[in-house]
């Protein structure tokens, strides 16, 4: 009997130790939340913010996760397809991963999309956009960039081509970007508002290749109505990403590809 009690006590101690270690690892996971933006579209008030944190997944322990969050004020829900979120993850000012526009598939009071990857060790931030439907169009608002956290690992080797030019991430305006030989602007879009980004946005493509994606390829045309948004979204189940070209700094030579996630699994809808 004494031996059984000792064994039981030992098992309890081990369980408590495992639980404590798990809680501690979650509690100390690095995270940062951006400023809350509150705005009104028609008679409905919305708010959005970005969050970035290190992955808590045992399958992808070196990933960093960007989250874009949109909430409808009060206890209100909006109809299907009325709200959308696009989320972007940056490493050291360079676009790392994007989750494309996703709209609420049912009546909802909130929406969250996530974009995650390991683009090498460094400082990561999250930003994005939200959209709300209003009389034949979607009104877009920026999700302000989050503070930076340290994350990722150097298991991914970043490949710099001979024509790669790394730009610092600053609060740039369109007129301050460098221009290539064709007169196109290029650089970081981390601290830049949508529609003010350079023609060529520095990004880390598939297999860690550093290059540039065209803003025109990254920013797709917005739907005109909720039915159109949801119809387009139904095809996402067939394809988990949208592929665009990765260029050199002159925007001429294709040096790789960049994947824009469209995974429904990376989306959460909230009802009130």
Checking DSSP bridges between strand 94-103 and strand 83-91, what pairing results, if any?
A: antiparallel
Average pLDDT over residues 110-124: 96
pLDDT in tens, 2-38: 344 434 444 344 333 433 333 333 333 589 999 999 9
Which of the four pLDDT bands, split at 50, 70 and 90, describes residue 232?
confident
In this prediction the pTM is 0.83
pLDDT in tens, 83-99: 999 999 999 999 999 99
Confidence of residue 176 (pLDDT cuts 50, 70, 90): confident
Give the confidence band of 220 by pLDDT, cuts at 50, 70, 90.
Answer: confident
What is the C-alpha to C-alpha distance for residues 221 and 198, in angstroms, rounded to an integer? 18
Model pLDDT, residue 92: 95
- pLDDT per residue as tens digits for the range 197-210: 999 999 999 989 99
End-to-end CA distance of the chain: 54
Asked if 102 and 111 count as a contact pair (C-beta separation under 8 A), the reply is yes
3-state secondary structure of 97: strand
Over the stretch 125-154, which tens digit does the pLDDT of each residue have?
Answer: 999 999 999 999 999 999 999 999 999 998
Strand partners, 111: 70, 269
pLDDT digits (tens, 9 = 90+) for 35-77: 999 999 999 999 999 999 999 999 999 999 999 999 999 999 9
Mean pLDDT to the nearest integer, 260-269: 90
Task: Reply yes or no on whether the pLDDT at 235 is more than 70.
Answer: yes
Give the pLDDT band (50/70/90) at residue 264: confident
At 133, phi and psi to the nearest 5?
-75, 140
Closest CA to 66 of 11, 115, 117: 115
């Amino acid at each position: 009997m004494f031996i059984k009690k000792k064994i039981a006590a030992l098992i309890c101690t081990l369980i408590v130790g495992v639980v404590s270690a798990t809680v501690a690892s979650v509690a100390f996971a690095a995270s940062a939340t951006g400023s809350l933006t509150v705005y009104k579209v028609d008679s409905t008030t919305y708010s959005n913010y970005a969050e970035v944190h290190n992955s808590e997944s045992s399958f992808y322990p070196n990933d960093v996760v960007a989250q874009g969050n949109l909430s409808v004020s009060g206890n209100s829900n909006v109809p299907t397809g009325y709200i959308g979120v696009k989320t972007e993850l940056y490493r050291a000012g360079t676009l790392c991963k994007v989750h494309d526009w996703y709209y609420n598939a049912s009546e909802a009071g909130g929406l969250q999309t996530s974009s995650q990857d390991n683009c090498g060790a460094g400082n990561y931030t999250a930003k994005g956009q939200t959209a709300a439907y209003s009389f034949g169009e979607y009104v877009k608002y920026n999700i302000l960039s989050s503070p930076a956290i340290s994350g990722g690992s150097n298991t991914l080797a970043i490949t710099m081509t001979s024509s790669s030019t790394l730009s610092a991430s600053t609060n740039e305006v369109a007129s301050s970007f460098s221009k290539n030989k064709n007169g196109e602007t290029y650089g970081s879009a981390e601290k830049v508002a949508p529609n003010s980004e350079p023609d060529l946005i520095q990004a880390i493509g598939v297999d860690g290749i550093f290059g540039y994606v065209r803003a025109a390829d990254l920013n797709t045309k917005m739907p005109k109505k909720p039915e159109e948004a949801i119809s387009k979204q139904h095809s996402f189940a067939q394809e988990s990403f949208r592929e665009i070209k990765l260029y050199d700094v002159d925007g001429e030579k294709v040096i790789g590809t960049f994947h824009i996630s469209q995974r429904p699994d990376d989306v959460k809808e909230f009802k009130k």
